[in-house]
Structure 1
Amino acid sequence: MSADDRAALGILLDLSQALLSAQVRSEVEAILTRQSVRLLGTRYALFLRYLPELDVLRVTAQAGQHADDLGRTLPRGQGASWRAALGPDPVLHLRREHLPPWAMRRAGVPPQHVLYAPLRSSSGRLLGVLTVGREDPPFLRRDEHLLATFANTGTVTLQRIHEAARAAATREGALLALGLALEARDYETQGHTGRTVALSERLGRALGLEEGEREHLRQGAYLHDIGKLSVPDGILLKPGPLTPDERALMQKHVLMGEALVRRIPGMPPEVLGVVRSHHERWDGAGYPDGRAGEAIPRLARLFSVVDVFDALTHVRPYRAPLSAPAALDLLRAEAGRQFDPEVVSAFVSLPLLGPGSRRV
Structure 2
Amino acid sequence: MSPRSTPTTSQSAWSGQPQEDQADLAALLELSQAMLGAQTAAEVEEVLTRLSVRLLETRYALFLRYWQEQDVLRVTTQAGQYAAELGTVLYRGQGLSWQAALGPEAVLRVHRDALPPQAVLQPGTPRQSALFAPLRTSGGRLLGILTVGRIAPDFTRRDETLLATFANAGTVTLERIYQTQQANATRDGALLALGLALEARDYETQGHTSRTVTLAQELGGRLGLEAAELDALRQGAYLHDIGKLSVPDSVLLKPGPLTPAERTVMQEHVRTGEALVRHIPTIPAGVLAVIRSHHERWDGQGYPDGLPGEAIPLLARIFAVVDVFDALTHQRPYHAARPIEEALALIRAEAGHHFDPAVVAAFLELLGDGASEPTPAPPTP
Are the equivalent residues in 1 in contact too, given 2:53–2:61 (CA < 8 A)?
Answer: yes
Q: TM-score, normalised by structure 2?
A: 0.90
Shift of 1:210: 2.2
> Equivalences for 1:196-211 in 2 at 5 Å?
196-211=212-227
> Equivalences for 1:154-173 in 2 at 5 Å?
154-173=170-189
* Aligned counterparts of 1:244 and 1:221: Cα–Cα separation in 2: 27
> Equivalences for 1:17-56 in 2 at 5 Å?
17-56=33-72
TM-superposition CA deviations, 1:3-34 (whole Å, max 9, x none): 23332222111111101111111111111000
Which secondary structure state, in structure 2, belongs to the residue aligned with residue 48 of structure 1? strand
TM-superposition CA deviations, 1:298-342 (whole Å, max 9, x none): 010000000000111111111111111110000000011100111
* Aligned counterparts of 2:305 and 2:326: Cα–Cα separation in 1: 24
Aligned to 2:32: 16
* Aligned counterparts of 1:117 and 1:151: Cα–Cα separation in 2: 6
* Aligned counterparts of 1:293 and 1:351: Cα–Cα separation in 2: 24
Shift of 1:239: 1.1
Match 2:327 to one of 311, 329, 333:
311
* Aligned counterparts of 1:80 and 1:5: Cα–Cα separation in 2: 30
Aligned to 2:142: 126
Match 1:2 to one of 7, 17, 23:
17
Shift of 1:265: 0.5
Which secondary structure state, in structure 2, belongs to the residue aligned with residue 37 of structure 1? helix
* Aligned counterparts of 1:139 and 1:115: Cα–Cα separation in 2: 8
* Aligned counterparts of 1:257 and 1:186: Cα–Cα separation in 2: 19
Aligned to 2:94: 78
> Equivalences for 1:236-251 in 2 at 5 Å?
236-251=252-267
> Equivalences for 1:247-326 in 2 at 5 Å?
247-326=263-342
**Letter aligned with residue 168 of structure 2:** N
Aligned to 2:130: 114
Aligned to 1:214: 230
Count of residues in Structure 1 that have an aligned counterpart in Structure 2: 352
Deviates more, 1:202-211 or 1:222-231: 202-211
* Aligned counterparts of 1:351 and 1:239: Cα–Cα separation in 2: 30
Shift of 1:104: 2.4
TM-superposition CA deviations, 1:205-233 (whole Å, max 9, x none): 22222222111111000000001111111
* Aligned counterparts of 2:104 and 2:204: Cα–Cα separation in 1: 59
**Letter aligned with residue 251 of structure 1:** Q
Deviates more, 1:97-106 or 1:165-174: 97-106
Which secondary structure state, in structure 2, belongs to the residue aligned with residue 166 of structure 1? helix
Shift of 1:101: 2.1
1:57 aligns with 2:77: no
1:183 aligns with 2:199: yes
**Letter aligned with residue 70 of structure 2:** L
Shift of 1:187: 5.2
Are the equivalent residues in 1 in contact too, given 2:85–2:122 (CA < 8 A)?
Answer: no
Q: TM-score, normalised by structure 1?
A: 0.95
Aligned to 1:192: 208
Which secondary structure state, in structure 2, belongs to the residue aligned with residue 50 of structure 1? strand
* Aligned counterparts of 1:225 and 1:93: Cα–Cα separation in 2: 59
Aligned to 2:9: none
Which secondary structure state, in structure 2, belongs to the residue aligned with residue 208 of structure 1? coil
Aligned to 2:355: 339
Aligned to 2:114: 98
Q: Which runs of 4+ in 1 moved over 4 A?
A: none
* Aligned counterparts of 2:24 and 2:130: Cα–Cα separation in 1: 20
1:88 aligns with 2:104: yes
- Label 1:83 to 1:173 Cα distance change in 2 as closer, same or farther (>3 A): same
Are the equivalent residues in 1 in contact too, given 2:49–2:63 (CA < 8 A)?
Answer: yes
Which one has a bigger Cα radius of gyration?
2
Shift of 1:60: 0.3
Which secondary structure state, in structure 2, belongs to the residue aligned with residue 90 of structure 1? coil
Are the equivalent residues in 1 in contact too, given 2:112–2:128 (CA < 8 A)?
Answer: yes
**Letter aligned with residue 134 of structure 2:** P
TM-superposition CA deviations, 1:22-72 (whole Å, max 9, x none): 111111111100010111111110001111222211110000011521111
Uncovered stretches (5+) of structure 2, i.e. residues with no partner = 1-15, 369-381
**Letter aligned with residue 189 of structure 1:** T
**Letter aligned with residue 354 of structure 2:** Q
**Letter aligned with residue 142 of structure 1:** R
